[in-house]
């Protein structure tokens, strides 16, 4: 290579080097979050409770009711209620916006929500089985309806209603809004909604 060519080549190398961006300082990994920041990252109102509903030895019949909330704050949670058979299989589930449920909507923190959920799974209908259901003529829409009547599902007629009462099926009721409880009965290992019990809201 001639002297002229060598000079031109050196000039080209220097020009290309000048066009490259200067290397910055090495990247520094972010500092680990402080204790307060870590707590904020996991803060929320994720609460879980469970309670035995039926515990019978002969024949063996065991069912558990559990309830959970999940959300960034207690007034932004979704509440789920589930009933499970003894081996853990779910046989009933219902989800709600906690802020619309009497008893849950006023829970301001996880501790208060836990107390509220424990009450929610306590079978608030006050009836162990369908024998305690009101007579058909006292249900909603009937001539002798009570002040706070039971509102059967639309497909239930008088004959089916009377059958429910005579079968004395295990029944579980829970608050599902501001003025009513939803009730479901247990038959052959499965749950079936039968309607709403009104209460003063």
Residue 55 lies in a domain: yes
Alpha helix segments (H runs only) across 20-136: 35-42, 110-120
pLDDT by position in tens, the chain (length 201): 544 444 444 444 444 445 454 555 555 555 554 444 434 444 699 999 999 999 998 888 999 999 999 999 999 999 999 999 999 999 999 999 999 999 999 999 999 999 999 999 998 777 889 999 999 998 888 877 777 889 999 999 999 999 999 999 999 999 999 889 999 999 999 999 999 988 865
Range of the domain at 53: 44-198
Residue 167 lies in a domain: yes
> Token pair for residue 80?
């789920």
Residue 33 lies in a domain: no
What is the 8-class DSSP label of residue 92? E
Residue 146 lies in a domain: yes
pTM for the predicted model, two decimal places: 0.76
- Strand ranges across the sheet with 171-175: 150-152, 190-198, 180-187, 171-175
> Token pair for residue 186?
């247990």
- The predicted pLDDT at position 29 comes to 52
What are the C-alpha distances in Å from 180 to residues 120, 168, 171? 13, 22, 16
Residues 6+ positions from 185 with CB-CB distance below 8 Å: 130, 164, 169, 170, 171, 172, 191, 192, 194
Say how far apart CA 116 and CA 94 lie, in whole Å.
16
- Structural domain count of the chain: 1
- The predicted pLDDT at position 39 comes to 41
- The predicted pLDDT at position 99 comes to 97
């Amino acid at each position: 290579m001639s002297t002229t060519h060598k000079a031109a080549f050196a000039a080209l190398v220097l020009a290309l080097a000048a066009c490259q961006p200067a290397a910055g300082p090495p990247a520094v990994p972010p500092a680990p979050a402080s204790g307060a920041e870590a707590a904020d990252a996991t803060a929320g109102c994720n609460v879980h409770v469970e309670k035995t509903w039926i515990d019978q030895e002969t024949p063996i019949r065991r069912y558990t009711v559990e309830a959970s909330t999940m959300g960034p704050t207690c007034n932004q949670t979704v509440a789920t209620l589930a009933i499970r058979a003894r081996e853990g299989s779910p046989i009933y589930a219902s989800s709600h916006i906690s802020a619309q449920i009497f008893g849950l909507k006023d829970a301001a923190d996880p501790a208060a929500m836990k107390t509220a959920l424990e009450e929610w799974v306590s079978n608030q209908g006050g009836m162990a089985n369908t024998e305690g259901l009101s007579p058909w003529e006292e249900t909603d829409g009937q001539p002798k309806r009570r002040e706070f009547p039971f509102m059967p599902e639309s497909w239930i007629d008088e004959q089916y209603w009377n059958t429910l009462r005579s079968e004395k099926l295990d029944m579980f009721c829970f608050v599902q809004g501001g003025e009513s409880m939803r009730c479901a009965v247990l038959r052959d290992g499965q749950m079936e909604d039968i309607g709403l019990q009104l209460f003063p809201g």
